[in-house]
């Protein structure tokens, strides 16, 4: 049966897991596809290359390095391998190699990072080659046994047939021999038109356990003798832990120890998490909050607004002609200032990790979007070398970019290190999760458009002011100080290219980095850039007295792929035919993560403040669609995530701290607020784009543009709850 095996949390698995790491290290092969020495899975079945294990019963185990967090990549990647392998899909199962195993084999499984909508697109080539390589070896093994040329053999669903004699065998029967062969130097991948597994909306491989409560998430990990920890980090970012009064809680039920975690946090370790949390709340703590305690949303907004001034320094991300001069001499100008707030990822499962530390070994069980980054965090926090560490990945209760960071992993190891030999599970409360996110960066944007006498757009000045994620998280990726990712969706070229041609264009970023830590929040910089640009496009169309779709189309002649998805959405929603009485439409498009997306919404508005979203249509061109059923879910989910942020989100800062503490102050859309999303997939082939994130960019502007159509009022800041606008 199709099933993704999540690690079983018992002593036996613990020991086997450890042994498997040891075995990998002992052999230490660095040949990607096996080589003469046979690598074996934990159950003894042979690897046919690093990506495929074939069991004697013909079960095919496909290794997955990227993380599954609900986005469906686990199933999609397995489809890509199975397509080339020509195995029986009903006998496919998957497993995660550990980062420790991968490092010990010179990163044979490549990148583990699961962010930037890269899960499929960045590994499709080598995982398909992994499948094809295994197929060639398996067929060769059968041909050798029959003493016939491999070219006379064919394979379908894991059954190999010799054409001449009609003899057949199965992958399971020849796997041992295949594993001893030298892998082919090169393999030819199938033409996409011949795909039979890729491109199908197959059911996910990991569903069954999610319906019975059996799926193990990080929060569910159990190890023998395990204790539980609750933590409080200084609520002001950058502040420190000054002191705490352990004596006040030492006698409380279940409490084992109170530990300092780095310079900034304190944790209570107890028999149960409920006891740990209860004691932590009773623990008197004194913080040294530092200067950041003076920062508020108001002070941040003021500082960012100053960055909109052209006299302030800024990095230029996209430019042609002379926008400033063209604007100065224009017949007509339109100017608007927009803003976008901090957002918390608010994964349903709060951050957590379980760690065991001894002087000889440190192991961690956690949900992570980046197994190798988590592994690096374990090395650093434990002080142990790579061969003494490992990370066991379990299912993520949501990621959205948050679990690409490793702060919670580091904390768990720092706690476990103070209790050698005792497994400790660290779990954040929802309140801690809200207070210590890695927030969607805060920005403002001033846009100025200029028209000639015939209402043609002749210039556009797009001036961002605000926070850079790379400055904080990946400073090595800055280019002479500039954050290239800040221009996602409005970039000159590349995977998030601007989709309009404007004769005089200036796109720039005045970087201002408040103390609140930013992070990669699903869609990242595409979110605000798409809202700013697509809402302002509507403003420009209105100023020119033109239909928003027609106005855009005139600027998109040189951007056929951007235009194709916009057209697909317009056609599906019936843009040229009247909407039902009282219903209004908005439209938006953007490119992000290598894919072209567009969205349109139909809404009605009551009393200017109650919005009902009746219909959403979304189109995407990701080049290739591996699993349309999962792509459809990612598109619809992107609207739920994007519209939740638009209506209910927004994190504000007071006294240096985040004010929102739980879902009562940081709400999320429910089923009654969400219409069906009608998705139109128009994969044009020849490139591989991402799916999980780009669509979120068009969710908010499609609704905001529809709101203008309904009310004549422009909304230029998020969230709507701050303007007393909510769902009907």
Given the rule CB under 8 A, which residues bind another protein? 69-72, 203-204, 206-217, 219-220, 222, 228, 253, 272-274, 346-350, 395-400, 427, 429-430, 629, 633, 636-641, 644, 662-664, 668-672, 674, 676-677
The nearest distance, CB 676 to another protein, in angstroms, is: 5
- DSSP structure class, residue 152: G
Which residue lies nearer to another protein by CB, 1 or 26?
Answer: 1
Which residue lies nearer to another protein by CB, 46 or 397?
Answer: 397
Which residue lies nearer to another protein by CB, 206 or 407?
Answer: 206
Question: What is the b/e burial string over 663-684, where b = at least 16 CB atoms within 10 angstroms of the residue's CB?
Answer: eeebbbbeeebbeebbbbbbbe
The nearest distance, CB 674 to another protein, in angstroms, is: 5
DSSP string, 653-709: EETTEE---STTTS----GGG-PPEEEEE---SSS----TTTTHHHHHHHHHHHHHH
How far apart (Å, rounded) are the C-alpha atoms in residues 305 and 265? 33
Q: Provide the 3-class DSSP secondary structure of residue 342.
A: strand
Which residue lies nearer to another protein by CB, 188 or 670?
Answer: 670
How far apart (Å, rounded) are the C-alpha atoms in residues 301 and 314? 17
- DSSP structure class, residue 715: -
The nearest distance, CB 215 to another protein, in angstroms, is: 6
How far apart (Å, rounded) are the C-alpha atoms in residues 517 and 469? 8
Residues with Cβ within 8 Å of residue 196, at least 6 apart in sequence: 83
The nearest distance, CB 580 to another protein, in angstroms, is: 18
β partners of residue 333: 450
Which residue lies nearer to another protein by CB, 213 or 578?
Answer: 213
The nearest distance, CB 42 to another protein, in angstroms, is: 24
- DSSP structure class, residue 254: T
Residue 638 near residue 276, CB atoms below 8 Å:
no
Which residue lies nearer to another protein by CB, 66 or 162?
Answer: 66
- DSSP structure class, residue 103: H
The nearest distance, CB 661 to another protein, in angstroms, is: 9
With CA atoms as reference, report the closest residue to 439 among 716, 641, 650: 650
Which residue lies nearer to another protein by CB, 126 or 647?
Answer: 647
Using DSSP bridges, classify how beta strands 315-320 and 504-511 pair: parallel, antiparallel or unpaired: antiparallel
The nearest distance, CB 348 to another protein, in angstroms, is: 4
How far apart (Å, rounded) are the C-alpha atoms in residues 346 and 344? 5
How far apart (Å, rounded) are the C-alpha atoms in residues 682 and 659? 42
With CA atoms as reference, report the closest residue to 294 among 657, 659, 650, 652: 657
Phi/psi of residue 35, nearest 5 degrees: 80, -175
Residue with tokens 């197994």: 371
How far apart (Å, rounded) are the C-alpha atoms in residues 635 and 619? 9
The nearest distance, CB 587 to another protein, in angstroms, is: 21
Residue 67 near residue 109, CB atoms below 8 Å:
no
Q: Provide the 3-class DSSP secondary structure of residue 711.
A: helix
How far apart (Å, rounded) are the C-alpha atoms in residues 405 and 400? 11
Which residue lies nearer to another protein by CB, 315 or 647?
Answer: 647
Which residue lies nearer to another protein by CB, 338 or 641?
Answer: 641
Which residue lies nearer to another protein by CB, 212 or 493?
Answer: 212
Q: Provide the 3-class DSSP secondary structure of residue 127.
A: helix
The nearest distance, CB 618 to another protein, in angstroms, is: 12
Six token digits for residue 521: 């929040």
Which residue lies nearer to another protein by CB, 71 or 101?
Answer: 71
Helix (H), strand (E) at residue 228: strand 227-233
DSSP string, 606-629: ETTTEEEEEEEEEEEE-S--S-HH
Q: Provide the 3-class DSSP secondary structure of residue 599.
A: strand
With CA atoms as reference, report the closest residue to 668 among 641, 639, 701: 641
Which residue lies nearer to another protein by CB, 141 or 640?
Answer: 640
Which residue lies nearer to another protein by CB, 672 or 724?
Answer: 672
Which residue lies nearer to another protein by CB, 25 or 215?
Answer: 215
The nearest distance, CB 633 to another protein, in angstroms, is: 6
Which residue lies nearer to another protein by CB, 24 or 350?
Answer: 350
Residue 559 near residue 500, CB atoms below 8 Å:
yes
The nearest distance, CB 236 to another protein, in angstroms, is: 23
Which residue lies nearer to another protein by CB, 391 or 636?
Answer: 636
Which residue lies nearer to another protein by CB, 297 or 619?
Answer: 619
The nearest distance, CB 216 to another protein, in angstroms, is: 8
HEC-encoded secondary structure of 34-95: CCCCCCECCCCCEECCCCEEECCCCCEEEECCCCCCCCCHHHHHHHHHHHHHCCCHHHEEEE
Six token digits for residue 80: 């890509």
Query: Half-sphere exposure of 360 toward its Cβ, with a 13 Å CA cutoff?
Result: 3
What is the chain's length?
A: 728
The nearest distance, CB 369 to another protein, in angstroms, is: 12
Where on the phi/psi map is residue 655: left (φ > 0), alpha (ψ -120 to 50), or beta? left
């Amino acid at each position: 049966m199709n099933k993704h095996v999540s690690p079983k949390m018992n002593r036996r698995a613990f020991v086997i897991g450890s042994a498997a790491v040891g075995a990998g290290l002992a052999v230490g092969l660095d040949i990607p596809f096996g080589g003469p020495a046979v690598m074996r899975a934990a159950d003894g079945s042979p690897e046919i290359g690093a990506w495929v294990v074939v069991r004697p019963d013909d079960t095919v185990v496909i290794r997955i390095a990227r993380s599954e967090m609900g986005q469906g990549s686990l199933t999609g990647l397995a489809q890509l391998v199975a397509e080339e392998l020509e195995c029986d899909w009903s006998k496919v199962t998957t497993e995660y190699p550990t980062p420790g195993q991968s490092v010990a084999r010179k990163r044979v499984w490549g990148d583990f990072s699961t962010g930037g909508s890269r899960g499929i697109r960045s590994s499709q080539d080598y995982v398909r080659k992994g499948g094809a390589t295994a197929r060639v070896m398996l067929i060769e093994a059968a041909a050798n046994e029959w003493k016939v040329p491999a070219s006379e053999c064919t394979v379908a669903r894991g059954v190999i047939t010799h054409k001449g004699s009609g003899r057949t065998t199965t992958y399971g029967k020849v796997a041992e021999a295949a594993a001893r062969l030298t892998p082919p130097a090169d393999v030819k991948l199938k033409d996409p038109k011949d795909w039979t597994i890729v491109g199908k909306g197959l059911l996910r491989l990991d569903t069954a356990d999610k319906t019975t409560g059996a799926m193990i998430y990080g929060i569910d990990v159990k190890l023998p003798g395990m204790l539980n920890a609750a933590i409080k980090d200084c609520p002001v970012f950058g502040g420190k832990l000054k002191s705490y009064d352990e004596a006040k809680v030492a006698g409380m039920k279940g409490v084992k120890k109170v530990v300092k975690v780095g310079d900034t946090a304190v944790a209570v370790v107890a028999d149960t998490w409920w006891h740990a949390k209860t004691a932590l709340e009773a623990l008197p703590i004194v913080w040294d909050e530092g200067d950041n305690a003076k920062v508020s949303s108001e002070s941040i907004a003021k500082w960012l607004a100053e960055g909109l001034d052209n006299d302030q320094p800024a990095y230029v991300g996209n430019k042609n002609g002379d926008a400033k001069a063209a604007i100065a001499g224009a017949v007509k100008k339109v100017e608007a200032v927009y803003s976008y707030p901090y957002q918390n990822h608010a994964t349903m499962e709060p951050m957590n990790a379980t760690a065991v530390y001894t002087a000889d070994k440190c192991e961690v069980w956690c949900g992570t979007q980046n197994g190798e980054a988590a592994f690096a965090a374990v090395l650093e926090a434990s002080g142990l070398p790579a061969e003494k560490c490992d990370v066991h990945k379990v299912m993520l209760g949501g990621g959205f970019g948050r679990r690409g960071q490793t702060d919670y992993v580091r904390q768990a190891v720092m706690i476990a290190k103070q209790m050698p030999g005792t497994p400790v599970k660290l779990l954040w409360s929802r309140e801690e999760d809200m207070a210590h996110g890695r927030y969607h960066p805060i920005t403002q944007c001033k846009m100025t458009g200029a028209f000639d006498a015939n209402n043609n757009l002749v210039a556009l000045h797009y001036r961002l002011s605000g926070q850079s994620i790379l400055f904080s998280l990946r400073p090595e990726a800055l280019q002479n100080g500039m954050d290239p990712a800040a221009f996602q969706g409005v970039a000159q070229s590349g995977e998030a290219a601007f989709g309009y041609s404007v004769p005089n264009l200036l796109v720039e970023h005045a970087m201002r980095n408040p103390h609140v830590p930013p992070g990669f929040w699903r869609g990242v910089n595409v979110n605000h850039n798409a809202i700013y640009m697509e809402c302002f496009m509507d403003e420009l169309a209105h100023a020119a007295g033109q239909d928003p779709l027609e106005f855009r189309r005139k600027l998109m002649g040189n951007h056929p792929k951007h235009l194709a998805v916009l057209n697909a959405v317009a056609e599906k929603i019936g843009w040229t035919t009247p909407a039902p009485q009282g219903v209004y439409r908005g439209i938006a498009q953007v490119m992000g993560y290598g894919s072209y997306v567009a969205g349109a919404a139909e809404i009605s508005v009551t009393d200017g403040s109650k919005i009902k979203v009746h219909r959403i249509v979304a189109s995407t061109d990701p080049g290739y669609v591996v699993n349309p059923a999962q792509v459809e879910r990612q598109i619809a989910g992107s609207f739920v995530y994007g519209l939740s942020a638009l209506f209910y989100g927004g994190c504000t800062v007071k006294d240096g701290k985040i004010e929102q503490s739980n879902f009562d102050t940081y709400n999320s859309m429910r089923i009654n607020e969400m219409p069906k999303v009608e998705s139109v997939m128009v994969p044009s082939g020849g490139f591989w784009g991402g799916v999980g994130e780009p669509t979120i960019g068009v969710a908010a502007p499609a609704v905001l543009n529809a709101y203008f159509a309904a009310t004549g009022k422009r909304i230029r800041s998020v969230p709507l709850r701050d303007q007393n606008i909510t769902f009907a």
